[in-house]
Structure 1
Amino acid sequence: MDITASAKSTPDNPVVDRNEWRDARLKLLELEKEETRLRDKVRAARQRLPWVKVEKDYAFDTPAGRKTLAELFDGRSQLLVYHFMLGPDWDEGCIGCSFFCDHIEGALPHLNNHDVTWVAVSRAPLEKIEAYRKRMGWNFPWISSFGDDFNYDYNVSFSDEERASGAVEYNYRKVSTNEVADEEHGMSSFYRNEAGEIFHTYSTYARGGEEVCGTLMLLDRAPFGRNETSTMSFLKRHDEYEAAPKEKGSSCCH
């Protein structure tokens, strides 16, 4: 992990007695409660959003063959799609998307039991997805939208014409093409009713999915936090970390 020397070696937190620490902690607790109440309000507002009926027919390459958007629901009424950054000419998946998806498999039984299907979608051809999946050791559903409009319509891929204009829409605003990658990430939600109609209910981009990443939430409670020099600068793919040296006598077993 890339931990900055200044963050690790020169903390400037005051050292106080237990009573003074408790007073400070109680003040922080009030902020945490305020954050929780705001999060509840945001969640309620999210679930009250109006929906948009999906009129276009989308199709995806999957290990089980070609599937429509309706078939991705796998018999459930709700679908979460993670827009995974892996373009047709990329050699490996995005580091941040890989980090995000490291958190998914343990949640799948719980999501499925709650009538929710989860799937990752990338624009890379299926064989490239399967090769990277094998490298990462993942088993979650991951499919290809190669040759389909899906990624473009949900604003995570951008046409040559859009890029030539100098600005594209990402995260609900026009941004310079210099501010976005060839592919971008996000998560979209869909509902399918008993009549088979599909509705787009929600999409989030950029930092909107951070709460799903348990590692970030844990780091936020560690003494040095995320130790970032820029957003998520500490990240590597999970097979790229070097074994961190342990301090002498720090092993829990010896």
Structure 2
Amino acid sequence: MDQFPAPPVVSPQEWEAARQQLLVQEKEVTRAKDALAAKRRRMPWQAVEKDYAFDGPDGRVSLLDLFTGLRQLIVYRAFFEPDVAGWPDHACVGCSLMADNVGHHAHLNARDTALVFVSRAPQPDVARLKARMGWTMPWYTLTDDFDADFGVPEMHGTNAFIRDGDQVFRTYFVNDRGDEAMGSTWSYLDLTALGRQETWEDSPDGYPQTPPYQWWRWHDTYGAH
């Protein structure tokens, strides 16, 4: 341990006292994050007026199609295309690390939320990359100005949408440092207009909510309930 200046070594009692002191601040941060997510759920919505098209494994689809019948949609703009480091064997190293951390989509689907990746790489390259890296998230090819219109003509970013019938609304956007923490079911749901949809959350009246734990399932058993 001579490569860096290690902190002092203390007794179990002193260690627990230090942990309890830090825990006070950690809980403050947790409560602040919960309050921020509550404000996010009260963000105004932006109507999506343009028609956007994407190439998928089964052909051309619309933004509405990406919802796959669910209420909410999260779109991550990944960088996998010519002139990006790693092409054609890999996507951007940061986007790839992000993809490696994405949780199982069944949990998001159970909260009426879909997650997709989009980039400018053609679908054969997307299929090859997903097979190589073991990724299973739906991944579509951009064909128009969707990325520029929603804040990610370059680099990476995550947009959240909600639909009311066939009308789509943009509800949130995050990029740069805020984007790097994405991947878990909870981090994604906290970005959405409806949140985790659990009864402890501070959400507007009438928002869908169920008790925590009760909706949680093993990811291969949601259809059985």
User: Helix, strand or coil: the match of 1:212?
Assistant: coil
User: Helix, strand or coil: the match of 1:148?
Assistant: coil
Give runs of aligned pairs for residues 1-254 of structure 1, distance below 5 A: 9-90=3-84, 91=87, 92-104=90-102, 106-145=103-142, 147-157=143-153, 183-194=154-165, 196-213=166-183
User: Helix, strand or coil: the match of 2:104?
Assistant: helix
Cα distance in 2, alignment partners of residues 201 and 16 from structure 1: 48
**Structure 1-normalised TM-score?**
0.67
Q: By how many angstroms is 1:210 displaced?
A: 3.5
Cα distance in 1, alignment partners of residues 123 and 150 from structure 2: 20
Q: By how many angstroms is 1:115 displaced?
A: 0.5
Letter in 2 for 1:127: P
Mean Cα displacement is larger for which, 205-214 or 52-61?
A: 205-214
Q: By how many angstroms is 1:36 displaced?
A: 0.5
User: Helix, strand or coil: the match of 1:31?
Assistant: helix
Cα distance in 2, alignment partners of residues 86 and 22 from structure 1: 46
User: Helix, strand or coil: the match of 2:181?
Assistant: helix
User: Helix, strand or coil: the match of 1:80?
Assistant: strand
**RMSD of the alignment, in Å?**
1.9
Cα distance in 2, alignment partners of residues 212 and 120 from structure 1: 13
Q: By how many angstroms is 1:38 displaced?
A: 0.5
> Where do 5+ consecutive residues of structure 2 fail to align?
188-225
Q: By how many angstroms is 1:78 displaced?
A: 0.4
Structure 1 stretches of 4+ with a deviation exceeding 6 A read none
Aligned length: 181
Cα distance in 2, alignment partners of residues 149 and 108 from structure 1: 26
User: For residues 113 and 21 of structure 1, do their structure 2 counterparts lie closer, same or farther at Cα, with a shift above 3 Å needed?
Assistant: same
User: Helix, strand or coil: the match of 1:202?
Assistant: strand
